[in-house]
Amino acid sequence: MSTILQTENLQYIYPAVEEGEGATVALRGVDLKIEKGSFVVILGHNGSGKSTLSKTFNAILLPSAGSVYVEGMNTDDEEHLLDIRRRVGMVFQNPDNQIVSNVVEEDVAFAPENLGVPTAEIRQRVDRALDAVGMVEFAQHAPHLLSGGQKQRIAIAGVIAMEPDCIVLDEATAMLDPTGRREVLSTAHWLNREKGITVVLITHHMNEAEDADRVIVMDDGKIAMDGAPKEVFVRVEELRSLGLTVPDTVDLLDRLRRDGLDLPLDALTVDACADAVAEALR
Amino acid sequence: MEPILKVVHLTHIYGTGTPFERSAVEDMSFDVADGEFLGIIGHTGSGKSTLIQHLNGLLKPSSGQILLEGKDIWAEPKKIRDVRFRVGLVFQYPEYQLFEETVYKDIAFGPTNMGKTGDELDCCVREAARLVGIRDDQLEKSPFELSGGQKRRVALAGVLAMQPRVLILDEPTAGLDPAGRENLLANIRDYHRNKNGTVIMVSHSMEEVAQNVDRILVLKSARVLMQGTPKDVFCRADELLSAGLDVPQITRVAMALKERGLAVDPAVYTTEALERQLLTLRKGAAGC
């Protein structure tokens, strides 16, 4: 598989806000390769550098030192800026800050219009994008009357209409209720599975990482852990020391193991966990 | 004992007489006991926000009543401001409402408007800051220099400084990381326990509600679907799921174990409790 995103010794420093204060070092040398077509979740407590990292992926932030490459293009090279932005789309936390139009389909058309896509093709792209997020019936609606989850799906549709190779969701589920969160997650998984779009999902919710191909844990501007969910979540103590939790399934398995039961730690999903526990008690 | 807050046949209709007429709260009735920690859960659009905005008089009922310490809050509409001092409401993402030059002044805004001055005011501010873990040396800082979690604690302190009889929190932990969530919940639990304060918390996190509150009110389509202790509510998991709500992950594990033929009571919502149940099962098996 080819690499879509690559960082080399990536460092980022936020300049001091006021005179006399120190600058804030957010990233302290990150080396990372993200495979095309993969579903990657980035975890980390507030201030660990995960949002800063994600903002370097489409040149919203440029490295203070080191480099970021999007399909081989250096984000520092202004010549590639539009191309990079078109290939890597971002969805942020607050849906209300990302919607620009009074009609859903016009909002989705905003990016392709700005990219100079011919009108007939814009029509097709908008229809396909709304179909992909399951919002076709809302095409003529006003975005402000939709629920949070629906608005976030419109924001995702707006990104899809650019036909990107990669979508970065920066805590895009944080403001949503459980239903909205499920809608956005299943949309992201569907795009990844059916359309081959690379997804980078940044979240505080451990159970959103269960179905990912890969989990990266950030701490103090560096990568602290990196592996499949089953490899990362079994490191219970380490995760807790980084200010994170483990899914309740792993917590239960961990407790029962301490009680002397012979159980695996990597049964992450509800069903896998129940199977393992039922087996051990039989 | 008389409930501190009593909601009687509350109905609220938005856009009366327009094509957008819609009732957001329909005939809700429930009591909140003095010193109780009540959780409110419900799908988006179930009426949670409309409901809590009635409890301190930000919205006026279309019909029905809100009784605070036995008295209709709208009996004297001119005194509604007084109700807002007694029922403190912390909105979602309250850190965006900070505006003063220093943390101290921001926390002091509410009690100052209540007419407090001098030592009394100082006492309210410092106590509220202490309750949420804001250190003395942080009081003279600009609130905008603080981290997101700290800002939210300052906003909470601003409401606590009014020493309200009832504290209402709308999704207090949204957007915080696990450690930040736990810190803020610990502040709220301490306030509840040490000050014997009545707390109403709206949350989307079933785990958070299950582990913190005494009683849960479940809303669905503008009505009260159920109310009871976490155990009462989460044992009706199927109804919750069909109302578009989640049940705690651990409850789903318990349900799955029951389906697999284990003698597990699925009305369980903490890992500790399920662990205990499973250990007795093991002992039972060993005894056979």
Give the residue from chain A lying closest to B277, CA to CA.
A256
Return the structure tokens found at B187: 């502040």
pLDDT over 60 (residue B286): no
**CA–CA gap between residue B156 and residue B153 (Å, rounded):** 5
| Same domain? B183 vs B237 | yes
Note whether B45 contacts A147, CB cutoff 8 Å. Answer: yes
Beta bridge partners of residue B105, listed in sequence order: none
| Same domain? B78 vs B191 | yes
Note whether A47 contacts B147, CB cutoff 8 Å. Answer: yes
Confirm whether the ipTM is greater than 0.90: no
pLDDT (average), residues B190-210: 91
Note whether A179 contacts B250, CB cutoff 8 Å. Answer: no
- The H-assigned helical ranges of chain B are 48-55, 80-86, 103-113, 118-131, 148-160, 178-194, 206-212, 230-234, 237-242, 249-259, 271-287
Task: Tell me the residue length of chain B.
Answer: 288
User: What order of strands is seen across the sheet that includes strand A222-227?
Assistant: A88-91, A166-170, A198-202, A39-43, A214-219, A222-227
**Angle (deg, nearest 10), helices B148-160 and B118-131:** 140
Q: Which residues of chain A are within 8 Å of residue B248 when distances are taken between CB atoms?
A: 248
pLDDT over 80 (residue A49): yes
Domain enclosing residue A40, as ranges: 3-246
Question: For chain B, what is the domain count?
Answer: 2
Return the structure tokens found at B47: 């009426």
Beta bridge partners of residue A215, listed in sequence order: A41, A227
Note whether A207 contacts B249, CB cutoff 8 Å. Answer: yes
Residue A264 counted as domain residue: no
pLDDT over 70 (residue B39): yes
Task: Tell me the residue length of chain A.
Answer: 282
**CA–CA gap between residue A9 and residue B97 (Å, rounded):** 38
pLDDT given at position B7: 97
Q: Give backbone dihedrals phi and psi of B218, rounded to 5 degrees, phi first.
A: -105, 125
pLDDT given at position B238: 86
pLDDT (average), residues A91-115: 89
Q: Is A17 exposed, middle or buried (0-12, 13-18, 19+ CB in 10 A)?
A: exposed
**Most A CBs within 10 Å, among B275, B279, B283, B288, to test the A interface:** B275
Closest CA to B170 of A149, A177, A171: A177
Give A75-81's long-range contacts (Cβ < 8 A, gap of 24+). Answer: none
Residue B256 counted as domain residue: yes
**CA–CA gap between residue B31 and residue A8 (Å, rounded):** 59
pLDDT over 60 (residue B288): no
Selected residue with higher pLDDT from B282 and A241: A241
Give A81-88's long-range contacts (Cβ < 8 A, gap of 24+). Answer: A82/A115, A84/A58, A84/A59, A85/A58, A85/A59, A86/A115, A86/A162, A86/A163, A86/A164, A87/A58, A87/A164, A87/A165, A87/A166, A88/A5, A88/A57, A88/A58, A88/A164, A88/A165, A88/A166, A88/A167, A88/A168
| Same domain? B227 vs B254 | no
Give the residue from chain A lying closest to B257, CA to CA.
A274
pLDDT over 70 (residue B143): yes
In this complex, is the C-beta atom of A145 within 8 Å of any C-beta atom belonging to chain B?
no
Domain enclosing residue B263, as ranges: 248-288
Note whether A204 contacts B176, CB cutoff 8 Å. Answer: yes
Closest CA to A89 of A22, A156, A152, A150: A156
**Sign of the Cα pseudo-torsion (A61, A66, A72, A74, in order):** positive
| Same domain? B256 vs B237 | no
Residue type, B204: H
CB A64 within 8 A of CB A7: no
Q: Please name the residues in contact with B220: beta carbons below 8 A apart, sequence gap of 6 or more.
A: B42, B43, B46, B243, B244
| Same domain? B171 vs B94 | yes
| Same domain? B23 vs B70 | yes
Terminal Cα-to-Cα distance of chain B (whole angstroms): 49
Residue A251 counted as domain residue: no
Note whether B262 contacts A278, CB cutoff 8 Å. Answer: yes
CB B55 within 8 A of CB B87: yes
User: What order of strands is seen across the sheet that includes strand B223-228?
Assistant: B87-90, B166-170, B198-202, B37-42, B215-220, B223-228
Q: Which residues of chain A are within 8 Å of residue B45 when distances are taken between CB atoms?
A: 147
Give the residue from chain A lying closest to B43, CA to CA.
A177
Residue A256 counted as domain residue: no
Q: Which residues of B88-116 are buried (b: 16+ CB within 10 A; e: fewer)?
A: bbbbebbbeebebeebbbbbbebbbebeb
pLDDT-derived band at A19, boundaries 50, 70, 90? low
DSSP B137: G
Residue A181 counted as domain residue: yes
Q: What is the pLDDT of residues A224-256, one digit of tens each?
A: 999 999 999 999 999 999 989 888 999 999 999
Q: What is the pLDDT of residues B220-235, one digit of tens each?
A: 989 999 999 998 998 8
Residue B130 counted as domain residue: no
**Sign of the Cα pseudo-torsion (A200, A206, A212, A216, in order):** positive
Note whether A204 contacts B259, CB cutoff 8 Å. Answer: no
In this complex, is the C-beta atom of A241 within 8 Å of any C-beta atom belonging to chain B?
no
pLDDT over 80 (residue A108): yes
**Most B CBs within 10 Å, among A42, A50, A233, A252, to test the B interface:** A252
pLDDT given at position B285: 55
Q: Which residues of chain A are within 8 Å of residue B275 when distances are taken between CB atoms?
A: 252, 255-256, 259
pLDDT-derived band at B287, boundaries 50, 70, 90? very low
Specify the 3-state DSSP secondary structure of B254. Answer: helix
Q: Looking only at Cα atoms, what is the longest distance across chain A?
A: 67
Q: How many CA atoms lie within 13 A of B29 on its CB side?
A: 5
CA dihedral A200, A203, A208, A209 (to 10 degrees): 60
CATH code assigned at A183? 3.40.50.300
Note whether B271 contacts A252, CB cutoff 8 Å. Answer: yes
Lowest mean pLDDT among A14-23, A126-135, A240-249, B272-281: A14-23
CB A201 within 8 A of CB A214: no
**CA–CA gap between residue B27 and residue B222 (Å, rounded):** 8
Residue type, A260: G
Closest CA to B134 of B164, B174, B173, B102: B102
pLDDT-derived band at B101, boundaries 50, 70, 90? very high
CA distance readout (Å), A116 to A58, A82, A119, A120, A121: 20, 12, 9, 12, 10
Q: Give backbone dihedrals phi and psi of B228, rounded to 5 degrees, phi first.
A: 165, -175
Q: Which residues of chain A are within 8 Å of residue B256 when distances are taken between CB atoms?
A: 270-271, 273-274
The number of beta carbons lying within 10 Å of the beta carbon of residue A233 is: 29
Lowest mean pLDDT among A173-187, B130-144, B152-166, B270-284: A173-187
Rg (C-alpha) for chain A, rounded Å, is 20
pLDDT (average), residues B149-170: 93
Residue B122 counted as domain residue: no
Hey, which bits of chain A come out as E strands?
3-14, 24-35, 39-43, 65-70, 73-74, 88-91, 166-170, 198-202, 214-219, 222-227
| Same domain? B12 vs B65 | yes
- Whole-structure pTM value: 0.84
CB A220 within 8 A of CB A12: no
Q: Which residues of chain A are within 8 Å of residue B172 when distances are taken between CB atoms?
A: none
Note whether A178 contacts B245, CB cutoff 8 Å. Answer: yes
Lowest mean pLDDT among A239-248, B14-23, B124-133, B168-177: B14-23
Residue B15 counted as domain residue: yes
Give the residue from chain B lying closest to A203, CA to CA.
B177
In this complex, is the C-beta atom of B253 within 8 Å of any C-beta atom belonging to chain A?
yes
| Same domain? B172 vs B212 | yes
Q: Which residues of chain B are within 8 Å of residue A177 when distances are taken between CB atoms?
A: 43-44, 204
Helix, strand, coil proportions of chain B in percent (round to 5)? 45, 20, 35
Question: For chain A, what is the domain count?
Answer: 1
pLDDT (average), residues B88-94: 90
Residue B114 counted as domain residue: no
pLDDT over 80 (residue A16): no
Residue A262 counted as domain residue: no
pLDDT-derived band at B178, boundaries 50, 70, 90? confident
Work out the minimum CA distance from B62 to partner chain A, whole angstroms. Answer: 22
On average, the pLDDT of chain A sits at 91
Residue B149 counted as domain residue: no
pLDDT given at position B5: 96
| Same domain? B276 vs B234 | no
In this complex, is the C-beta atom of A49 within 8 Å of any C-beta atom belonging to chain B?
no
Which stretch of DSSP H or E encloses residue A192?
helix A178-195
Residue B129 counted as domain residue: no
| Same domain? B206 vs B219 | yes
pLDDT-derived band at A20, boundaries 50, 70, 90? low
pLDDT over 50 (residue A78): yes
pLDDT over 80 (residue A7): yes
pLDDT (average), residues B13-25: 85
Rg (C-alpha) for chain B, rounded Å, is 21
| Same domain? B168 vs B288 | no
Residue B268 counted as domain residue: yes
pLDDT (average), residues A106-134: 91
CATH code assigned at B170? 3.40.50.300
